[in-house]
Amino acid sequence: MVSASLGPAYHRLWLATVLSNLGDGIRMAALPLLAAAITSDPVAVAGVAIAGQSPWLLFGLVAGAIVDRFDQRRLAAAVDVVRVSMLAVLVVSISLDVAGIALLYLVAFVCGVGETLRDTATATLLPPLVKDADLDRANGGLVNAEVAGNELAGPPIGGYLFGVALVLPFAINGGALALAAALIFSLPNVFAPKAGSYSSKGQIWNDTRAGLRWLIKHPRLRMIVGLGAVFAAMDSAWFAVLVLYVPQVLGLPAWGYGVLLGIGAVGGLAGGFFATRVTRMIGPAGALAGCLGCAAIGQLMIGLTASAVVVAAGLVITSAAFGVWAVVARTTRQRLTPAEMLGRVSSAAMTAVMSASPLGALLGGLLAAEWGLRAPILVGVPVLTVAAVVCFLAMRERG
């Protein structure tokens, strides 16, 4: 629950985050369904997901330099307006029955670019709006808004709306983004970059490299980003084969997979909710190391059983660990990074995760093909255990 003490500006940011991520979740479910309605070619359908995910790999690092150069409030609102325009084009095209697979790729790609810029900008919006002591609690609310919209509510709503009418999920997505843009634009005007921060307007790549150099020289943040990528890769390795694990090992019907995903999303919400309490009880070092250790335990539970109940418990543990990690890592990054570097450091961290996830999924597929469906689940147990020990010792040494 969002506390009133965080202030009205935070409430507007939180609601904008809810609306934006709910729209993203609706679109992510509906676009593949629309692609499947247009073509039966599996490669063409998969291309929609590739088009939507590729912007992080192509522009993720540069996005931080762009965000650091501009008023983040105006940039985030402008990005949402562009995405609304693209969705409007799609809605009209569907209504006229002229929507083709190429248009879906374009919509997915443009919305993906917008999501890359907006997520990076949003990561820089919070610190000026709340007290430093409240950053962890405020981040917990934002992480829960993201999980609830992207994972818990958005996809099933998107699938249902698509079944009612093809245009409906995209119209709802556009409306949600329009409201989010208005809320972001209503935030206090405290996000403009400092005058003289950049000597040359054309050197985006130089700014990007400067941010990376700063991050590399900061041992604590460098370690958190690196371990976050390892965490994401190990999580994606088993998640990529879960859709096969559920029917073949657990013996559940197709709906069981959806139920387990929902249970996992609830675990993520719990992690975001309790992250502040956990951090204040055992400190950031203990919290981050504990997340890695709990994820290892959760994967061990999932990989060594044929019980759906045990797997559900393991999913809750791993998802909750990811939720706590997201809050603690984001808060630590915001506290330790200079305001003029926050966009670049945040984009580097998010790009590391977004790059590690598909690599982890590929690893999971290869391991499953060679050694069976349990292998990609269990491979993360020793890796995450070692990572937990390294994280705790390194962060304790650095205070």
Residues 292-300, mean pLDDT to the nearest whole number = 97
Largest distance between two CA atoms of the chain: 63
Calculate the average pLDDT of the chain. 90
- The pLDDT of residue 194 is 54
The Cα–Cα gap between 215 and 222 comes to: 6
* Size (the chain), residues: 399
Q: Dump pLDDT digits (tens) for 133-188.
A: 999 999 999 999 998 888 888 888 988 899 899 999 999 999 999 999 999 999 99
| Cβ-contact 325, 231 below 8 angstroms | yes
Closest to 307 (Cα-Cα) out of 251, 261, 355:
251
Single out the residue of 167, 23, 176 nearest to residue 91, CA to CA.
167
What secondary structure letter does DSSP report for 165? -
User: Is pLDDT above 60 for 199?
Assistant: no
**Which residues, 6+ apart, have CB-to-CB distance to 387 below 8 Å?**
227, 230, 231, 292
Instruction: Say what the pLDDT of residue 397 is.
Output: 61
- How confident is the model at residue 2, as a pLDDT? 47
Task: List the beta strands (DSSP E) in the chain.
Answer: none
Predicted TM-score of the model (pTM): 0.86
Residue 43 has what pLDDT?
Answer: 80
Cα torsion at 167, 155, 10, 133 (round to 10°)? Answer: -160
pLDDT, tens only, 235-259? 999 988 888 899 999 998 878 887 8
Sorted by sequence, the CB contacts under 8 Å of residue 352 that are 6+ apart come out as: 225, 226, 228, 229, 232
Structure tokens at 253: 């019907």
CA-nearest of 114, 109, 98, 90 to 170 is: 90
Share of the chain above pLDDT 70, in %: 95
Nearest to 111 by CA among 177, 15, 163: 177
User: In the predicted model, is pLDDT for residue 336 greater than 90?
Assistant: yes
Q: For residues 173 and 47, is the Cβ–Cβ distance under 8 A?
A: no
Asked if 70 and 360 count as a contact pair (C-beta separation under 8 A), the reply is no
